[in-house]
Amino acid sequence: MKILLTGAGGFIASVVLEKLLEQGCQVVAVARRRANIPVSGAVSFIQADLQNLTRMEDWSPMLRGVDAVINCAGILRETHKGDFELVHFDAPKALAEACIQNGVERFVQISALGTELDGGFITSKHKFDDYLMRALPTAVVLRPSVVLSERGSYGGTSLLRALAALPGALFVPGDGDQKIQPILLEDLACVVAQAATGAGDAQSLEQASGVAYTVGPEVVTLKEYLTLVRRWLKFPDARIVSVPLSLVGLAAWIGRRLGAGPLNDTVWGMLQRGNYAESGAYECSCEKFDYAPRSVKGYLQTSASFVQDRWHARLYLLREPIWLTLVVVWLLSGVAGFVAQPETFSPILKAMGLPEFLWRPMVWFTSAVDLALGAFLLSRRHMALAGQLMLACTLGYTLALGLLAPAVWLEPLGGLLKNLPLLCLLSVFLVVEKLR
């Protein structure tokens, strides 16, 4: 069986792809980058951004010989206004139209639990769900709650894991009684693969079609979930601290304005209202797909975590403070260079053997470089490249100054020695800046 999988390098789709390969399927993997796509003769990779695939003609060539489509593509935060509409509605709508034209009846849509109050992510997802069920009645729409993986995390799951790992206290929004109905990603992926690779006759298509709430067997409160995750991470129990919802909302608002931070509208909506299905939804989903997801509570109580899990949980919330620290250091360093007086920099440049007429231009040049790099990192575009340039400049500056004017190593208050922890901080940033 040949299946087209969108968002193939993502959190959910990467495990779905594994399940499809286990079942002997041929997969056409559509993703922006190849980095997370397995190298296999059974996988054909198409590099594409869904924002550029909004016409039926864009998809039709990819559907040659395809028996089913799984749409796992999605974004949790908009880079530009309208991105949710493009990725979650316009592009998959064009894909669905191409499926209808090419006779592909089996279409599996990975959506999400929630309401329009949860923001643009849910609104755009559900808008396409409604269109898909009208245009292609044989389609399957799956709406999971919080998705927890046995081997990693992403988005809201990463944030909840990080909150559970904070030292000293367990912070919960409000009273922490918001309800969620988590499901293990590996179980969700089995349901997705089954929905896509069913027998294919009209009866089975009709039986599986429609909206299914793919949730776990139990509803737990956010406070209970965070406590379970903390114990799974092998951290000692901590005092529970209630954080006013107004403060959490303010953090989400700031993150939305800056386009940064672990909170977004979708996660904030879940933290406010909870995220769980109606009574009986779990049983209906199990009956429809003849598969019962495991208890997340039981998994957290009986499985082992590893040091990598604890590292990620503790480092996750440090990503943004590290980014902001580097931006401030580079911008202030650039400003300081432009306002510096000759008596400040002349001893060092003289010790380096530079002619006096180059002193001021040299200071201005390095200050301009600092400002440019600080602004580049502040823009959040190509952050890895910005960090690499900062690391290269800092290392070059440290080696040049340290060799030509070695006395600066012994200056009071640290002098050039302060560059060593800065080099380490930059190295850590280059590791944690990628969220996938």
CA torsion sign for 139, 264, 318, 168 is negative
> Residue 7 above 90 pLDDT?
yes
- Over residues 112-124, the pLDDT tens digits come to 998 877 778 899 9
Helix orientation angle between 156-164 and 222-232, rounded to the nearest 10 degrees = 70
CA distances from 188 to 43, 245, 289, 339, 382 (A): 21, 31, 11, 58, 33
Of the pLDDT bands very low, low, confident and very high (cuts 50, 70, 90), residue 202 is very low
Which structure tokens are listed for 55? 């016409």
> Residue 206 above 80 pLDDT?
no
> Residue 201 above 60 pLDDT?
no
Our CA angle for 336, 338, 341, nearest 5°, is 80
Residue tagged 């620290």 (tokens): 325
Amino acid identity, residue 256? R
Q: Please answer whether residues 29 and 44 qualify as being in contact, where contact means their C-beta atoms are separated by less than 8 angstroms.
A: yes
Which H or E run contains 203? helix 202-208
- Over residues 73-85, the pLDDT tens digits come to 998 888 888 899 9
The per-residue pLDDT for 154 is: 83
The per-residue pLDDT for 199 is: 45
- Give CA–CA dist 195/56, Å, rounded: 24
The per-residue pLDDT for 20 is: 95
- Give CA–CA dist 68/93, Å, rounded: 15
Amino acid identity, residue 396? G
Of the pLDDT bands very low, low, confident and very high (cuts 50, 70, 90), residue 144 is very high
Which H or E run contains 22? helix 11-22
Question: Ranked by mean pLDDT, which of 95-99, 365-369, 414-418 comes out on top?
Answer: 95-99
- Give CA–CA dist 88/128, Å, rounded: 7
- Sheet of strand 2-6: strand arrangement: 43-47, 26-31, 2-6, 68-71, 106-110, 140-142, 210-212
Residue tagged 């800092």 (tokens): 394
Of the pLDDT bands very low, low, confident and very high (cuts 50, 70, 90), residue 203 is very low
Of the pLDDT bands very low, low, confident and very high (cuts 50, 70, 90), residue 207 is low
> Residue 200 above 60 pLDDT?
no
Burial of residue 36 (CB within 10 Å: 0-12, 13-18, 19+) is middle
Q: Which string of DSSP letters, residue by residue, matches 34-57?
A: STTS---TTEEEEE--GGG--SHH
Instruction: For residues 29-50, give the mean pLDDT.
Output: 91
- Over residues 253-298, the pLDDT tens digits come to 777 776 666 676 677 777 777 788 888 888 888 888 888 899 999 9
Instruction: For residues 134-161, give the mean pLDDT.
Output: 90
Which H or E run contains 335? helix 319-339
**Cβ neighbour number for residue 167 with a 10 Å cutoff:** 8
Q: Please answer whether residues 37 and 9 qualify as being in contact, where contact means their C-beta atoms are separated by less than 8 angstroms.
A: yes
Least confident of 152-161, 324-333, 388-397, 417-426: 152-161
- Over residues 320-364, the pLDDT tens digits come to 999 999 999 999 999 988 888 877 777 777 777 778 888 788 888
Closest CA to 316 of 146, 165, 145: 165
- Over residues 216-251, the pLDDT tens digits come to 999 999 999 999 999 999 999 999 999 998 888 888
Percentage of residues of the chain with pLDDT beyond 70: 95
> Residue 388 above 80 pLDDT?
yes
